[in-house]
């Protein structure tokens, strides 16, 4: 019964795919989606809002989602949004000249509607430290039986397809071209639209706290507690006392599938200087922080554009290096020292950064690392979105 239902679905989808290849494309219609159609954030969100703000008279931008809450959120902001399988959603996907995604065509959109004449623009979701895409799974291709091969034959729209991928520098251009199995000319060094936030002027009042954010990378399984605290000397009361004394505010933002220990979560509820952030889009606030603390999260590549200090706290560096052998770069080659291996060391470093400017050696290494991963942006408030739009609009 399941196979019959699957074949029926495939036949319906192949009709949509045929329509997608027959129906003429409207150059003025661009469709956007992100994160499996379940979120409104990341590079597609930033670029979507830029086009809405600056080129609405020329381009009709439509957000497509699989989540009704996301559709409601986007509509409340005054933008156009449809469900991927609604009549309007299907029609706009069939007519779009360009679709903008950050995962894959079949994850983010209703792929059968996206014909070969529609350009697939891959904005991705970060500068990779670990190997991604074909570099990560090319050797792990699943061997399928005859029925599985038949299903693949009837669903060509599920194949990975990217006509253009964006990058941030010549180095990341080469990395992403290899990962996506594309020619380098198909990888545009435009910069990430979400990083335009680092070029917005923010007035800072006097006597406000020195704001720092801790963002470690993913650990453990789904919804797993993450012992990056007590194991490494996180004494809540002692740390809170020092933060208050030095007018420092610490925000903890764990990976979405991890959470701090329950005891710490309870203590944070009554704290004025230690907070938890579980917002859906970190790029709404990331530029407001004075310092980033992380271990292996690629967020630090973005934060380099802020020109603000980064504290690397790779508590389990030896374990990490043994576990994660599939890396594009040696950790020590693309990070900044001194490393902190305990919360006491983090606290000392924070106080030092709050009270004293960084030295010239740190500034030089910081600048060299930023130049390695980011080309100098064009002038303007939204330099990366502007460069990307200029390229796409000319196609």
Residue identified by tokens 């040696």 is 330
pLDDT tens, position by position, 349-385: 999 999 988 889 999 999 999 999 999 887 778 899 9
Tokens of 395: 């196609």
Tokens of 219: 């650990």
Looking at residue 168, what is its pLDDT? Answer: 96
Q: Does domain 201-373 have CATH number 3.40.50.12580?
A: yes
pLDDT tens for residues 260-300?
Answer: 777 888 888 888 999 988 788 889 889 999 999 999 888 99
Q: Is residue 98 within a helix (H) or strand (E), and if so which, with residue range?
A: strand 96-101
Rounded to an integer, the average pLDDT of 66-73 is 96
Cβ of 72: how many Cβ atoms within 10 Å?
A: 11
Residue in 388, 334, 386 with CA at minimum distance from that of residue 171: 334
pTM: 0.90
Q: Per-residue pLDDT for 217 more than 80?
A: yes
Give the model's pLDDT for residue 224. 53
Query: For the chain, where do the domains classified as CATH 3.40.50.12580 start and end?
Result: 201-373
Tens of pLDDT, residue by residue over 292-342, are: 999 988 899 999 999 999 999 998 888 877 776 678 888 899 999 999 999
What Rg, from alpha-carbon coordinates, does the chain have? 23
Q: Which of 75-79, 184-188, 194-198, 256-260 has the lowest mean pLDDT?
A: 256-260
Tell me 252's DSSP state.
E
Token output for 365: 């290494």
Give the model's pLDDT for residue 149: 65
- Judge residue 23's burial from the number of C-beta atoms within 10 Å of its C-beta, 0-12 exposed, 13-18 middle, 19 or more buried: middle
Cα 328 off chain centre by: 18
Q: Is the pLDDT of residue 221 over 70?
A: no
Q: Which backbone phi and psi does 36 adopt, to 5 degrees?
A: 65, 25
Weakest-pLDDT range from 35-39, 121-125, 391-395: 391-395
For the segment(s) 2-191+380-393, the CATH number from 3.40.50.450, 3.40.50.11820, 3.40.1260.10, 3.90.930.60 is 3.40.50.11820
SS3 at position 218: coil
Instruction: Using the predicted structure, report yes or no on whether residue 82 has a pLDDT greater than 90.
Output: yes
pLDDT score at 84: 95
* Cα–Cα distances in angstroms (integers) from residue 27 to residues 60, 61, 96, in the given order: 9, 11, 7
pLDDT at 142 over 90: no
Mean pLDDT value across the chain: 88
> Residues 84, 87, 90, 92: is their CA dihedral positive or negative?
negative
- Residue extent(s) of CATH 3.40.50.11820 domains in the chain: 2-191+380-393
Residue length of the chain? 395
Separation CA 208–CA 51 (nearest Å): 34
pLDDT for position 263? 82
pLDDT tier for residue 387 given thresholds of 50, 70 and 90:
very high
The DSSP result for 69-85, as a single string, is HHHHHHHHTT--EEETT
pLDDT higher at 181 or 139: 181
Angle formed at CA 159 by CA 117 and CA 70, multiple of 5 degrees: 80
């Amino acid at each position: 019964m399941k196979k019959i239902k699957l074949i029926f679905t495939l036949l319906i989808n192949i009709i949509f795919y045929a329509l997608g290849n027959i129906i003429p494309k409207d150059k003025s219609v661009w469709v956007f989606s992100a994160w499996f159609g379940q979120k409104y954030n990341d590079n597609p969100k930033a670029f979507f809002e830029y086009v809405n703000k600056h080129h609405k008279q020329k381009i009709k931008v439509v957000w497509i989602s699989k989540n009704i809450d996301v559709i409601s959120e986007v509509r409340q902001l005054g933008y156009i949004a449809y469900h991927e399988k609604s009549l309007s959603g299907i029609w706009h996907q069939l007519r779009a000249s360009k679709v903008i995604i950050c995962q894959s065509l079949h994850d983010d959109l209703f792929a059968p509607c996206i014909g070969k004449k529609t350009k697939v623009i891959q904005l991705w979701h970060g500068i990779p430290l670990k190997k991604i895409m074909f570099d990560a799974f090319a050797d792990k291709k699943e061997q399928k039986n005859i029925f599985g091969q038949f299903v693949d034959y009837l669903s060509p729209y599920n194949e990975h397809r990217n006509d253009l991928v964006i990058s941030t520098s010549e180095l990341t251009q080469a990395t992403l071209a290899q990962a996506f199995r594309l020619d380098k000319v198909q990888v545009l060094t435009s910069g990430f639209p979400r990083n335009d936030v680092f070029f917005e002027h923010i007035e800072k009042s006097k006597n406000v706290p020195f704001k720092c954010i801790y963002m470690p990378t993913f650990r453990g399984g789904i919804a797993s507690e993450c012992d990056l605290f007590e194991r490494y000397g996180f004494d809540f009361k002692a740390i809170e006392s020092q933060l208050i004394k030095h007018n420092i505010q610490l925000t903890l933002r764990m990976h979405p599938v991890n959470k701090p220990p329950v005891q710490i979560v309870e203590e944070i509820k009554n704290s004025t200087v230690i907070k938890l952030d579980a917002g859906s889009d970190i790029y709404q606030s990331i530029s407001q922080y004075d310092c980033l603390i992380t271990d292996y999260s690629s967020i630090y590549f973005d934060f380099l554009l802020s020109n603000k200090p980064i504290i690397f706290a790779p508590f389990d560096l030896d374990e990490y290096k043994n576990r994660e052998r599939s890396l594009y770069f040696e950790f020590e080659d693309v990070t900044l020292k001194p490393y902190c291996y305990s919360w006491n060391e983090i606290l000392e470093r924070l106080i030092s950064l709050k009270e004293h400017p960084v030295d010239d050696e740190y500034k030089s290494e910081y600048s060299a690392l930023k130049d390695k991963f980011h080309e100098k942006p064009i002038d303007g408030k939204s330099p990366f979105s502007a460069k990307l739009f200029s390229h796409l609009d000319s196609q």
